Chain A
C-alpha cells in the first residue's frame, strides 16, 4: 500500500519528474536553449539524461534580403545527452 502511494502521487516537485521517466519532456535551459527528449535519469540537482534530443538555440543573424538583424532558431539532434542541472530553468511535461 505504501509503495503504491510512493509510485503514484505527487507530494513534492521532484515526484512529477519521477513520473516522467521514459516520457518525452521539454526543458528550458539558460543561454536561450530548449531541449526536447525522452527522460531516462535525473537526480535532486536536476542533472538529467535524455535520449533522441532535439536542441533549439536562438541566435541573432543578419537577414540576407532585408539586411536586418533577426532572431533565428538553430536545431541540432543528439542521440544521448547528459544535462547538468544548474543550467535548467523549467521542465514541461
Chain B
C-alpha cells in the first residue's frame, strides 16, 4: 500500500511512465489504484512517429504490470517520509507473517 499512498500524493503532477515495450508517456497523473494502474491526462509521447496509434489519445489508462519505470518530479518527493514508511511497512508485514504462522500452527494442532 506504500506506493499506492505515495502515488495518491502525486495526483495532478506531471510524470513520465516508461513501459516495458519502450513506449514513454508523459502526462498529468489523474488517478491510481492498488494495482498501481495509472491514469494520465493530456499525454505527450516520446518519439511520437514510432507510435501512430497514440496520436489521437489525450487521456489514457496504463495497466500497472506493463510499467518499467516512472520518472517522478523530484521536488514533490519527500524521501524522509518514504524511508520511514518503508520501515513501517516492513515491520507490519513481518507482524502479519508471524500472526499467520501462529494461526496455521494452531489450526494444525
Which residues of A approach B to under 8 Å, CB–CB?
A: 6, 14-15, 18, 21-22, 29, 31, 40-44, 47, 49, 51, 78-84, 86-87
Contact = CB atoms under 8 A, between A and B. Distances in A.
24 contacts: A6-B94, A14-B90, A18-B87, A18-B90, A21-B83, A21-B86, A22-B79, A31-B68, A40-B82, A40-B86, A41-B3, A41-B83, A42-B86, A43-B89, A47-B36, A49-B77, A51-B79, A79-B71, A79-B74, A80-B72, A81-B69, A82-B3, A82-B70, A83-B69
Given A47-B3, A83-B69, 19 more contacts: A18-B87, A21-B83, A21-B86, A21-B87, A22-B79, A31-B68, A40-B77, A41-B6, A41-B85, A42-B86, A44-B93, A49-B82, A78-B69, A79-B71, A80-B71, A81-B69, A82-B71, A84-B65, A86-B65
A61 to B, nearest CB: 17
A40 B20 CA distance: 23
Interface string B74-109: 100101001101110111011000000000000000
Give the 5 A-B CB pairs with smallest separation, nearest first. A82-B70, A41-B82, A80-B74, A79-B74, A80-B72
A34 to B, nearest CB: 13
A84 B86 contact: no
Interface residues on B, range: 20 to 34
Nearest to A42: B86
A40 B84 CA distance: 9
Interface of B: 2-3, 6, 20, 36, 64-65, 67-74, 77, 79, 82-83, 85-87, 89-91, 93-94
A84 B19 CA distance: 10
